Structure 1
Amino acid sequence: MAMPYRKKPEEQIKSVTEFVEYVNTWEHKGKYPTAFRGQAFYGWIAKPKLFRGEGRIYENEYRAIRDIVSIHPSEFETDKTMFDRLVRMQHFGLPTRLMDVTLNPLVALWFATEDYYFNESSRIIAEGLKGGTVTAYYVPESRQRYYDSDRVSCMSNVANLSGSSKDTLFKLAGESSSYEQFIEKSEEAKSSNECKKDVLDELYFHVGMEKPHFRKLLKPEDILKPVYVKPKLSNKRIIAQSGAFMLYGSKANFVKSTEEAIPARRVYISPEHKPRIRTELERLGVYESILFPEIEKAAKFIARNYMAMEEDDDGLI
């Protein structure tokens, strides 16, 4: 079955100057974008890697989390919440329910100008469709949270549930209109053997491990729709990339109307303009070893620059 792709945005930019001018006019109902996301291929649907259907990682999310913590426990010693651990896992490359965004449009542009190469599974796409895109998100305040909010704790700890428990949890949430009804349906599902345990109580257990005084008043819609999360600036890469996250609960789309959706606008960067824009971004101090401050990235950037230099007649650089 062919994977769906998004249409190419109509608006196109060809340089950093043009992009900056465009961003300064990027308003929606008088509001400036909350955050930006750059993608090397415009056709990708923006969603967390966990939800992209690669293998069985979604069903085994809770096992994958325990695997990486058990292998590298010292890396997670300072993480106090599940959201903290998800952020670290995201930057290690483990698929999570987080989607990276940035407050800096130039950082988004850098990611949008990465090279995109087709693999065997994507040869159904015509050659030449390698353009990138920058998306601007206008997140309403009702869908914005800080790293320590109860809603973020609940959505993050969904990762601790098994695949079947998650399916049951979201099914019940979609059928409930209040937290009282949510609790009632969860208890009914357990008593009717629809599931072996009270999935809502299981979620509350994990949240309670990091928040002992958590009040069990979760609104069902609070775990169904993604939220924009402002993280702690405790990670070098988050600081370097002016990073933030969109946190997802359910992989199914429970947004039923345009009023509930997070407004977004997109702009296209064609493949022939990517090299020029990358060069311009480097002149402005936006390059790989800055955005990825790990030492191996810095070494790669330095080596590339010296390898690109030409010797003069005396053999001197």
Structure 2
Amino acid sequence: MTADRPDSVQRADTWTELQELITQEMWMSDIGRHRSPYVFRGVPNQSFSLETSITRFVGDSRKWPLEPLLLRNFAQYAASEMEEPQSVWHLLAIAQHYGLPTRLLDWSFSPLVAAYFATRTGNTDHDGAIWAVDYRKLHADLPDYYQSVLEMTETNMLDTHLLSNAILEYEMSEDRADGDGPAPARDLDDVSRIHELWQELWAPDAGESDEEYVMFFRPPAIDDRIVDQSAVFSFQSDPRIVLGQWLEDRPDCYRKIIIPGDRKLEFRDKLDQLNVNHRTLFPGLEGLATWLKQYYQPQSGSDSSG
């Protein structure tokens, strides 16, 4: 294993090894700073696939048109509970945050946050894992209208505002391709036209797409949980993509760090000492209660006094 091209699957048998693995490849010579090009996701069982909630929701039914239908109805019935979404991307981020089935997955800029989610259950029967994905490499293969916005803003990570600009770039490129000059703006990012956006850009077709891509973006700071977890969302052009399998064909774009089951409690306790725990990542009474249960729960063979 080398620092320049590490193995895709690695194993952290000790706390020291975990620290070394999650901080690999952080030096960016172009800016002279330590800044990781990775985003991270922790899973309690290393065999879990990176499967989106809409994939689990649709199951074997193949009823993918339910995806925009869910989002459109969420926008309608949640109107009194939230401010007017600024775009479809903004609405999609809110829906994901509150548990609506979407094609998004939760990630974090923080490897320690991911490590907590890999160890949070304390279940020693299964190895956990931290997925680390190099978003800069994946973004190099995004469609031109996303690339234009990334280049214009000199950034490697999009947000909901920049994604709206990307949709505008897409509309302009489509109008220019027609050869008849600018067409009236279709305003595909208007939340009232979710179905049109999905049908034109992201509806699964009968065959396999030649332009599959996965994109990462920063969600708006809806609440403290988004901020405290250093949240990032992934978006995939086709909801049928199983991201773990998709990444296996791109081994230079990811690493998977295995956390042995018998190290989970140790690692979780050490994360707690570093103030990375349920109380800090889930502000509120639920987070506090869960943290207290984890902190004080007796372990078999331990001395419960003191």
TM-score range, shorter chain: 0.5 to 0.7
d(CA) in 1 for partners of 2:73, 2:192: 20
Matching residue of 1:14: 13
Indicate if the aligned counterparts of 2:38 and 2:132 stay in contact, CA closer than 8 A: yes
Matching residue of 1:243: 231
- Partner AA of 2:237 in structure 1: G
- Partner AA of 1:279 in structure 2: D
Aligned-pair CA distance for 1:237: 1.1
Indicate if the aligned counterparts of 1:14 and 1:277 stay in contact, CA closer than 8 A: no
Mark the structure with the bigger radius of gyration: 1
Indicate if the aligned counterparts of 1:15 and 1:276 stay in contact, CA closer than 8 A: no
Indicate if the aligned counterparts of 2:87 and 2:190 stay in contact, CA closer than 8 A: no
Question: Which of 109, 121, 129 is residue 133 of structure 1 equivalent to?
Answer: 129
TM-score, scaled relative to structure 2: 0.65
Matching residue of 2:89: 83
- Structure 1 residues 189-204: aligned runs within 5 Å: 204=186
Kindly provide the CA deviation profile for residues 262-291 of structure 1, in whole angstroms up to 9, marking residues without a partner as x: 700111011111111111110110101211
Q: Residues 261, 179 of structure 1: CA spacing in aligned structure 2 closer, same or farther, 3 A cutoff?
A: farther
Q: Does 1:274 align with 2:264?
A: yes
Matching residue of 1:293: 283
Indicate if the aligned counterparts of 2:160 and 2:219 stay in contact, CA closer than 8 A: yes
Classify the secondary structure of the residue corresponding to 1:74.
coil
d(CA) in 2 for partners of 1:280, 1:112: 13
- Partner AA of 1:23 in structure 2: I
Q: Does 1:149 align with 2:162?
A: yes
Indicate if the aligned counterparts of 1:225 and 1:254 stay in contact, CA closer than 8 A: no
Aligned-pair CA distance for 1:180: 7.1
Aligned-pair CA distance for 1:12: 1.1
Question: Which of 45, 49, 64 is residue 53 of structure 2 equivalent to?
Answer: 49
Kindly provide the CA deviation profile for residues 148-185 of structure 1, in whole angstroms up to 9, marking residues without a partner as x: 1246875xxxxxxxxxxxxxxxxxxxxxxx8479989x
Q: Which shifted more, 252-261 or 38-47?
A: 252-261
Q: Does 1:94 align with 2:100?
A: yes
Q: Does 1:231 align with 2:219?
A: yes
Indicate if the aligned counterparts of 1:76 and 1:85 stay in contact, CA closer than 8 A: no
Classify the secondary structure of the residue corresponding to 1:73.
coil
Aligned-pair CA distance for 1:246: 0.9
- Partner AA of 1:132 in structure 2: G
What are the ranges of 5 or more consecutive residues in structure 2 without an aligned counterpart? 1-7, 30-34, 143-156, 168-172, 194-199, 203-208
Alignment size in residue pairs: 251
What are the ranges of 5 or more consecutive residues in structure 1 without an aligned counterpart? 1-8, 118-126, 155-177, 185-200, 212-217
Q: Residues 276, 182 of structure 1: CA spacing in aligned structure 2 closer, same or farther, 3 A cutoff?
A: farther
Matching residue of 1:36: 40
Indicate if the aligned counterparts of 1:37 and 1:100 stay in contact, CA closer than 8 A: yes
- Partner AA of 1:293 in structure 2: P
Matching residue of 1:207: 189
Q: Which shifted more, 230-239 or 103-112?
A: 230-239
Aligned-pair CA distance for 1:247: 1.2
d(CA) in 2 for partners of 1:311, 1:269: 27
Q: Residues 267, 28 of structure 1: CA spacing in aligned structure 2 closer, same or farther, 3 A cutoff?
A: farther
TM-score, scaled relative to structure 1: 0.63
- Partner AA of 2:68 in structure 1: Y
